[in-house]
Chain A
Amino acid sequence: MLNRLLAPFRNTTGLARWILVTGIVITIAFVVMAVFAPWLAPLDFNQQKVDGVKLPKLAAPSDDYWFGTSDQFYDVFSRVIWGARTALVVVTLSVLFSVLIGVPLGLISGFVGGWTDRMLVFVMDALYAFPTLLLAIVFSFLLRDALGGGVTAAALSLTVIYIPQYFRVVRNTTVSARESTYVEAARAIGAKNSSIMGRYLFGNVIQSVPVIGTLNAADAIGTLAALGFLGFGIQPNEASEWGYDLNRALDDASSGIWWTALFPGLAIVFLITGLTLVGEGLNETVNPSLRKRRIRKVEMPPNEPTTALVEGRTR
């Protein structure tokens, strides 16, 4: 099983492999930050006092506060580390939800066809036509009453904007796979529609989902930060969020205080880069039309006409 999973990776060469490896390394670094945040971060994300003493306001980076402190008496380094946890939790949840909703809908829509298909395609196209940020803002408004301004609400409002992508890809692959002989063969052995969809189509139509998943995750980081920047995202008392920190840092930047904006900003850029590289790398390895198979070079024996024959014999 592991061998099968690694097969596309082993088949890649050169740039494609480097893209994938670089992406994975960056992403893993952020995952480590997120998982071990309580141990890595010196302070809590909303901690303003150490031993009853308030942190200095807007202190420059130093040995005590590596990334400096913010105008709210927060330690920027701790905020960045905790922010990784928030970002990854929100993004994982939103990708998970959109896969769980988008893939089955696409499968059913493509397989059943007819009016079900038309209606679903219509709704999904309508969703897709909206600017993503606008849609996310609308849904975070709607969800704020029901779920508050926490991680779940942010994840769900991101979910809505990514469902159509999975739906489209899975539906289109299903439509073409539905006519294939192995589906007809499944009918011929008496398989129910549900079992045809689950056992025969599912495994063959989700092959590009991991690629879309990682690329969406990269996109979701940006959207989440944008929501936080505009004040519609996760509330500051719920979790540390890079977009919100950037918003707070706007005023500082004009007065020459660079550290409050630079570090959350860099974190966003690096995580998006890492995830995008993973997605592109996966795309190159999973998608056979782009893939360049690794061919082992043939080692020819040295061509020495006078001695080659003799050597060949003695060997």
Chain B
Amino acid sequence: MQTKRDVTATGESLVDIRDLEVHFELRGGMLKRLLGMDTGTVKAVDGVNISLKRGEVLGLVGESGSGKTTLGRAMLGLARSTKGSITYHERGGEGQTRERVVSQLKGADLRSLRTDLQMVFQDPNAALNPSMTIEAAVGHPLKIHGIAKGEDLRPRVAAALERVGLAPAEQFMSKYPADLSGGQKQRAVIARAIILDPEVLVADEPVSMLDMSVRAKILQLMVDLKKDLGLTYVYITHDLASAKFFCDRIAIMYLGRVVEIGPTEEIFADPKHPYTKALLKAIPEPDPNKMVPRDLPRGEIPDAAKPPLGCSFHPRCPEAVAECGWESRDLRVLLEEHWTRQETTSYEEEQALVGSLDRLDDPQKTVTLGSGADSARVRGLLDRIRQENPSEPLWSGVDEISETGDGVEVRFHQGFDPELRPSGGVEVACVLHPKPVTVEPFRPE
């Protein structure tokens, strides 16, 4: 199997994404809806800048909920962008390009864009209409855009099916999706996408629902198609291993933002962002002698409706420093983790001492724990927890712990939300980059 194909990427950008935001309104409870109260928004894509070059394969990599699929859908105008722009540079005659702002297109204009931008979906079992034959499904795009109809349709559908390896085409045309295997269905989905001869193909985890044996074949098919048809791919995946095989450039996404973007080799050889490092460590290594320690990021991806202050990765980051944006919710997690290790009696005692943790749920930079009378004991408790694990990065973010009349006040350092900045061959959004490090990481004495 080849690992890298001849890169035909030119410097010319094909799709420009500028400050793109896709926010979804939350519906909230019934009372809130009735009263028209603010129900909050989920920032699925939150300020993304990417320019897709003609002929390249760009990988969008991230965990579930990182916004990679929404970004892909927004590129086709399937998800409405709330801010920013997506500009598609359509190739016209004589080397001219025409700019089309996808994020502003509507109705017929948006539909006509589909001849140039197409999508392959994650689940081939759901992406085909169960009550439509393969011939009708693959030929429908041609019919919709008035490119071919009637007699003309059949040979073109057959050609597309054979192009994706469903040969002889006659054998598949009259079948329904339920009659095909997963890999065959995904081939049919790809045939439907390429029959319009598009420029850009957004592939949303095209192999994640397939058997291991079929995955490599489908990826190889996509590589071949790229070479033959001159396609540009946006490859959305959570699997860095397949991205390494397939992509020229990789953008690592976390909670709606790109945290690191750069050439594939660079990302794999010298990952900068702690999240990228964590993802790379998560790739299974078949050779047991080469096993790397898997200190995977702790916890889960946070709630996108209430992202952490500062850098949104800081609560899970093993390298976090004082400036990462520590806040009250991190303290709650710390206390609760501490209690999971305690006996019931000492937990109850400490819990009564600190009081309800619910007031830590609103992100704050200054919090007060306990009551005035017990402030010394609360402080003692915090010191004890700190002693247990002094290397816990949260403590680096604590500016001051003081006893006030109302309890113990914990004040955190001011945090920064890092922008994407060039560092080496890549761009990375982390306070630690570019080096030299301006801030000394916290070192326990």
A residues 241-258 with Cβ under 8 Å of B?
Answer: none
Q: How far is the CB of A109 from chain B (nearest CB, A)?
A: 20
A191 touching B144 by the CB < 8 A rule?
Answer: yes
Whether A270 sits at the interface, judged by CB under 8 Å, is no
B residues 82-122 with Cβ under 8 Å of A?
Answer: 111-115, 118-119, 121-122
Q: Is the interface of A mostly helix, strand, loop or mixed?
A: helix
Whether A287 sits at the interface, judged by CB under 8 Å, is no
Whether A47 sits at the interface, judged by CB under 8 Å, is no
A203 touching B76 by the CB < 8 A rule?
Answer: no
A199 touching B140 by the CB < 8 A rule?
Answer: yes
Residue ID in chain A nearest B117 by CB atoms: A188
B78 touching A188 by the CB < 8 A rule?
Answer: yes
Of A13-21, A131-139, A162-170, A176-184, the stretch lying at the interface with chain B is: A176-184
A188 touching B130 by the CB < 8 A rule?
Answer: no
Whether A187 sits at the interface, judged by CB under 8 Å, is yes
A204 touching B127 by the CB < 8 A rule?
Answer: no
Interface string of B155-170 (1 = CB under 8 A from A): 0000000000000000
> Chain B residues with Cβ under 8 A from A180's Cβ?
126
B127 touching A190 by the CB < 8 A rule?
Answer: no
Residue ID in chain A nearest B108 by CB atoms: A192
B78 touching A204 by the CB < 8 A rule?
Answer: no
| Number of B residues with CB within 8 Å of any CB on chain A | 28
> Chain A residues with Cβ under 8 A from B130's Cβ?
182, 204
Count class of interface residues, chain A: 10 to 19
A190 touching B128 by the CB < 8 A rule?
Answer: no
- B111, B132, B145, B193: the one within 8 Å of A199 (CB): B132
Whether B402 sits at the interface, judged by CB under 8 Å, is no
Whether B129 sits at the interface, judged by CB under 8 Å, is yes
Q: How far is the CB of A103 from chain B (nearest CB, A)?
A: 15
A203 touching B144 by the CB < 8 A rule?
Answer: no
B123 touching A188 by the CB < 8 A rule?
Answer: no
B128 touching A182 by the CB < 8 A rule?
Answer: yes
Whether A128 sits at the interface, judged by CB under 8 Å, is no
Whether B189 sits at the interface, judged by CB under 8 Å, is yes
Whether A185 sits at the interface, judged by CB under 8 Å, is yes
Whether A129 sits at the interface, judged by CB under 8 Å, is no
A185 touching B112 by the CB < 8 A rule?
Answer: no
Interface string of B302-344 (1 = CB under 8 A from A): 0000000000000000000000000000000000000000000
Residue ID in chain B nearest A185 by CB atoms: B127
Which of B113, B131, B144 has the most chain A CB atoms inside 10 A of its CB?
B131
Which of A184, A185, A187, A204 has the most chain B CB atoms inside 10 A of its CB?
A185
A181 touching B132 by the CB < 8 A rule?
Answer: no
A188 touching B76 by the CB < 8 A rule?
Answer: yes
B residues 391-406 with Cβ under 8 Å of A?
Answer: none
Write the residues of chain A forming the contact surface with B, with a CB cutoff of 8 angstroms. Answer: 180-182, 184-192, 195, 199-200, 203-204
Question: What 4 pairs across the A-B complex have the smallest Cβ distances?
Answer: A203-B131, A190-B114, A181-B126, A190-B111
Write the residues of chain B forming the contact surface with A, with a CB cutoff of 8 angstroms. Answer: 76, 78, 111-115, 118-119, 121-123, 126-132, 136, 140-141, 144-145, 189, 192-193, 196
Given contacts A185-B128, A199-B132, 4 further A-B contacts (CB under 8 A): A181-B122, A182-B126, A185-B192, A189-B114
